[in-house]
Amino acid sequence: MSLFRPFFSALGLFLRNPAILVALLLTMFPEASVRADPPDARVQLEQKARYWEKHHRVDLAAAAYRQILFLYPGDKEALTGLIQAYLFEGKSDRASPLIRSFEKRYPQSPYLPVFQREDALGQKWIVLIDRARKEETDRHYARAEALFRKAFGNGFPPPSLAEEYFHLSEKIPGGRNMALSELKALTERYPENGSYRLAYGEILSDQESTRRKGIRILAALARSQAPEAPKALVQWKKSLLWAGDNPSYLPELSQYLKAGPDPAIMHLLERARRRALAEGPLPEKAFSALHRGKMEEARDRFLLLTREDPDNPSYWTGLASAQLGLSRPDKAENALKQVRQLPLSRQRRRIVNRLERQVRYWEWIAKGRRQARKGHLSKAGLLYRLARKIEPGQTAAPDLLAGVELRLNHPRQALEIATQVLSRHPKDPQAISAFLGALDSLGRYREAANFLQSLPPGERQRMERSSSFLVLEGTVYAHTGQVDRADRMLSEAGRSPLPLTNRDQIARGWAYASLGETLPLESVLKSLRTSPDLSVEEASQVHQLEHLDLHLTVDRLLARKDETGARNRVQSFLQDHPGDRTALREEVRVDLAGGQTENAFSLLCSLHPENHYSGARFAIASALESHHTKTAGKWLEEARAHWGNRTGLTILDSRFLADSGHVRKARQILKKALERFPRSVKLHLALARLDLRQNHSREARKEALEAQKRAGEEIGAEHQADALEAANTLAAISTQETALSGSHFEFLLGETAFTQYTQYYYTQIGGFFPVGFLQGEKGEAPVYLHAFVQGNAFTFQYHPTVTSASFLSQTYVGTTPALGVRLPTFFGSVEADAGWGFALHDQTLTPPGLVSGLFLQGDLSADIAGGNLDLFANYTGYISYTYFQSRYLHPFWSNPEKDYSLAAGPEFIVQGNSNYSAFQGGGALRFSLLPIDSTLLLDIGALGSSAFGGVGGYEGFSWYFYY
């Protein structure tokens, strides 16, 4: 025994410490250690996390999820669980960065919008959910459902709350149908999510009418590897027990037993078989179910019959009919393949041939739908046409074809197809929608609105159960200017329990854009950006909507004179979409609105050449607005070479010619275009603006009224914009007519001081009174009678002799009434005035005396090179004094609204009489204040006179008020 003692001692050690034995075996047999499957640490940790969640220890569950993420970074389930734990604990600071990481990794997850909603609400989310559960406990089901919905916002229930929420919905009148509709949409959108499928299967299996479909969903989920599989298995069995011993469930009972033995289900199967024998022949039940439209029951019964009697052709044709009724043409085709192998009577062959046509019909439609989902609309249209040829009397193919034609922007073809269908099936909902959509796309908005009104109330209410129809209805109302109705329909569509399809959301966005409502448009765009399944066509439309949203937002901000806000909005868009040409055009608009014309022109040049008509028009118009007329003319020639003489280019051509000084030619081309398109609102408006530019108020008003009339005859957002522009043009004409035909009051106050001991103070009050019209620089302009009274005080000092050091002083204080006329000219205006002056003369060592004499005055104003040249002269007879002034001022700054502006330039003055002469040269600065109809002028310079040697200086100030 002593020889074996060490062996037994070692054996005892191994038995007391199995781990040592395992380690020794792994050392002796290393290959075994490689091939062995150790327990999965991740599974163990996930089970631990779920255990703690079940026992309401969220902190410990979060710790387990953190361990999983440490071992498996980015694990989807662990990241989901950890975010949920942090949100439940109110640790938003920890949840937010994880949500951003989750969004980058799993942008298509159904948890993402819920996480974002929870993060936004914070503790309010937990409060709302707790209140909802309490209301449900108290059997206040409607209140509970409303609180859940308030927590979810515009989103959908998260997977973790799907069962709880949708079972609650069942308890509300009408809630079951809404729950089924929403769950169907969610399972289609997130087919991999087991929670939604489980809830869908449970609710379907609650009632006999939908139980079979629910059982199929639960069976598929139970056989999967999803975490919800165990619960699905339990519910699968429960649903079969609810079905009882109904013989039609024989296939489902047999299928369940394939997953494993179950005494209860086995007993139910035996009872169902005995009942089937007792109730009579199965074929009668199968054909009865088919005739009653119970396609699922018929299919299941015919499947049993074909197994029992595979040589009976009526069973196979019955099965094919049931599969067609369930929209499974592929399985119907398989059944017909079995029929063809059997001997058939002539009557049976006719039945088979008819079924084969139906199968081909629905196969083409199924293929067309797949192509349409992929965005291959032309291929889908071809397949629908093939289906239509097979069964011309059925509506499915033409309905789908009309929808495809609309998406291909072929509204005339869609309208023709929908009209044909409605002539035979006036209540067909798809044809009604296609007809309405085609009228709207063709711009026949009034007809679309009338068609809506013509629908019977019951039919219309039935149609409005569809969110797609609500969006279409809202679009028609938006285009016909019925804003309140449009908003109501579009909002109701957004509140639909079913998530809107991408196409419906895009249509909703276009409707809000036509209403100019940017806030709901931005909400729609936010929803679309998070959509996981945008097609190429849909993504392109979303990008167009983003551009339109940017344009409308910039419009709104510029209307509020918020140039900084508009610029920030454009820059924000460019950060997300660098180099986006549409956004850069919006930046050009902001620059032009802010008076930064050179920046705008530089940006326009960087975008040239434009490949789209609208872009080319924008570039030409902006170049004209930034005063780069030559470049605008060059771009205009390029655009005409590419797009021909379109109306928009004709209008720009007339504007270019007018800016180049060829006003008569600009008018001719607009008149010629109106001969071809007499109903064009835009051409009438362009001609009105050109006439207004030339001060032809009467002709401008005539054209603007015609434009307003034409715009009022049509319905639509574009025509509403034209009508608004016509109204603005008429308002501008009225303002100009008032300005041209009315009298004007003037007031002048100023002073000039010389370093050579001379001061001149003056004031003037008067008015301009129109007495007629002449052709001026910008068309017809009024001839004014100018009546005024001047008041002045002139003081100067001088040495009585050249060698004298003392001064003598002279002062003239007087008034001059005068009358004159101001005439418009091709370069500006000329004025001539005459009057008689009186003054009190006071001189050192001389008694005061009254003097009088003739007063003459003349003025010439000319617009040259963007500035203004003013030549002014007067003669004062009581001192035989002549004054001549030339001044050129060029504007160099103005605010965006052009209310305030600065101009500067040189001036030269010559003045004197037989005893005195002076020469002045300097500069002047003019500040125009349009809000108070005033001009402030400062001038300063050098002076040389005959009274004193050397060079002196002068300064002056004047304020001119003209109203």
**What are the C-alpha distances in Å from 667 to residues 222, 651, 661?**
79, 10, 12
Mean pLDDT in each 10-residue stretch from start to end of the chain (963 residues)? Answer: 40 41 37 40 77 77 80 77 74 76 73 70 77 85 84 77 84 82 83 85 85 88 85 87 80 82 84 66 74 80 80 84 84 86 81 85 87 86 89 86 87 90 87 89 84 86 86 86 87 79 87 85 86 80 88 86 88 89 88 82 83 84 83 86 85 84 84 85 84 77 81 63 74 72 85 79 90 70 89 76 62 92 87 93 80 93 86 91 92 74 93 84 90 87 79 88 82
Give the integer Cα–Cα distance in Å for 578 and 565.
19
pTM for the model stands at: 0.56
* CB neighbourhood size of 641 (10 A): 8
pLDDT, residue 19, reads 39
644: left (phi over 0), alpha (psi -120 to 50) or beta: left
pLDDT, residue 9, reads 44
Give the integer Cα–Cα distance in Å for 504 and 517.
17
Q: Helix (H, G, I), strand (E, B), or coil: what is residue 172? A: coil
Decide if 924 contacts 941 (C-beta within 8 A): no
pLDDT, residue 281, reads 56
Burial class (CB in 10 A: 0-12, 13-18, 19+), 336: buried
Give the integer Cα–Cα distance in Å for 175 and 768.
78
Q: Dihedral sign, CA of 580, 582, 588, 593? A: negative
Q: DSSP state, 232?
A: H
Give the integer Cα–Cα distance in Å for 899 and 933.
10
Give the integer Cα–Cα distance in Å for 208 and 200.
15
Q: Which two tokens stand for residue 743?
A: 């009298």
What do you get for the CA distance between the two ends of the chain, in Å? Answer: 133
Please tell me the chain's helix, strand, coil percentages from 3-state DSSP, rounded to the nearest 5.
60, 20, 20
pLDDT, residue 26, reads 35
Give the integer Cα–Cα distance in Å for 799 and 890.
40
- Give phi and psi for 400, each to the nearest 5: -65, -40
For strands 900-912 and 846-864, give the pairing.
Answer: unpaired
Q: DSSP state, 797?
A: E
Q: Which two tokens stand for residue 219?
A: 């069976």
Residue of 544, 583, 548 lying closest to 567 (CA atoms): 583
- The residue count of the chain comes to 963
Residue of 282, 222, 269 lying closest to 241 (CA atoms): 269
Q: Which two tokens stand for residue 354?
A: 């008819």
Decide if 444 contacts 412 (C-beta within 8 A): no
Q: Which two tokens stand for residue 928?
A: 């125009």
DSSP string, 612-660: SHHHHHHHHHHHHHTT-HHHHHHHHHHHHHHH-S-HHHHHHHHHHHHHT
Burial class (CB in 10 A: 0-12, 13-18, 19+), 931: exposed
- Give phi and psi for 859, each to the nearest 5: -145, 140
Decide if 169 contacts 186 (C-beta within 8 A): no
Q: Helix (H, G, I), strand (E, B), or coil: what is residue 40? A: coil
Q: b or e along 236-258 (b: 16 or more beta carbons within 10 Å of the residue's beta carbon)?
A: bbebbebbebbbbbbebbebbee
